[in-house]
Amino acid sequence: MASIRTARGNRPLTRPLIRTVTTTVTAALTLALTTVLGPAPAATAVPSPTPGELTPHAVESTYVSGVSSGGYLADQLHVAHSAVFEGAGIFSAGAYDCAQGSVNTALYACMDTYMPRKTPAQLERLTRERAAAGRVDPVANLAGDRVWLFHGGNDRTVDRPVNDDLATYHRDFGADVAYDTSSAAGHAWVSPLGKVACASTASPYINTCGTDPEQAMLTHLFGAPVNPATTAPLDGTLVRFDQNRHVPGGNAAAVSMGKDGFAYVPEACAAGSCRLMVALHGCQQTYGQIGDTFMAQAHLNEYADTNRMIVLYPQATTSLDNPRGCWNWWGYGGDTHYADKGGKQVSAIMSMVRQLGG
């Protein structure tokens, strides 16, 4: 392992020694998003997966959430398909297409802030241009959408000004933005079920801070108080489905997605209308890396049971140019449309959403 030190706080960033310049830089990006401290223990609070397919439901509204690389992809989905998604909840990410297709920009401008990055106003203009070209839905859809954002005080992976840009971007488009910066959390999804100390940045990147951000997020996104999360065993089914069927070209691995995806369907959603929440893990949180830990500890299924909500858990995977299993927010794999409707991962997830009735 090679090692360099950043200017801020003499903080180390390790890089795997890989053969090409492109993959070396990509590895530095994804490793900067995570700190490897060994495998996390397997979680048991989520039902065992049941093999099956995504089946249509009476979905009344659709939302998306994510953390880190999953937060960036959540925003890409929301912006590209704002006619479908009514809101987004994002832990620690920056404004839409901050990376501009460049791994260096992603690493040094959209996580750290050593390099200049596009301002929110510039990215808003870019979004309008893409909307005019049909690459994303009309920006008028973003007005009034509910956006919930979170950035922890000990998050040194994505700098606070980058997260601030995301808040500005959506406020300028007229969204109803709630932005929580009160926590001392490290770089992580924060949940009452998390096992990592609040201020840490450590695998599996699900921290506990004595708060319930999921309640705050869902309350804001739904525009009304939510029923308390269940403390009883979950009553729904965790469907394990083939993601190959949803990826353009039929090869999930070719776009750094896992073979299997998951959807938690509460018993109450077997009949009648339900909401749909797409939940996107971050780097090093894939099923192949930590098993069902993200699904078990994200504290969404517990609210799903009591609030008639299906939770879709798409899965990224590792690949040569994505060694940490991140979602595509800087254009790896040559996907020049990663941030718009033509993006391969965006298209795959939208196929899943439509199959569920979103």
Q: Name the token pair of 8.
A: 């801020």
Active-site entry in 68, 92, 203, 347: 68
Torsion, CA 291, CA 256, CA 166, CA 342, rounded to 10: -140
Nearest one of 234, 240, 204 to 46, comparing CA atoms: 234
95, two tokens: 């404004």
Q: Is the CB of residue 193 less than 8 Å from the CB of residue 208?
A: yes
Task: Return d(Cα 315, Cα 243) in angstroms, integer.
Answer: 8
State yes or no: is 81 an active-site residue.
Answer: no
Q: Is 284 exposed, middle or buried (0-12, 13-18, 19+ CB in 10 A)?
A: buried
- Selected catalytic residue, list 57, 81, 187, 281: 187
68 is catalytic: yes
Q: Which of 126, 60, 114, 118 is nearest to 94 (CA)?
A: 118
Question: Is 335 a residue of the active site?
Answer: no
Say which of 155, 305, 321, 335 is annotated catalytic: 155
Active site residues: 68, 155, 187
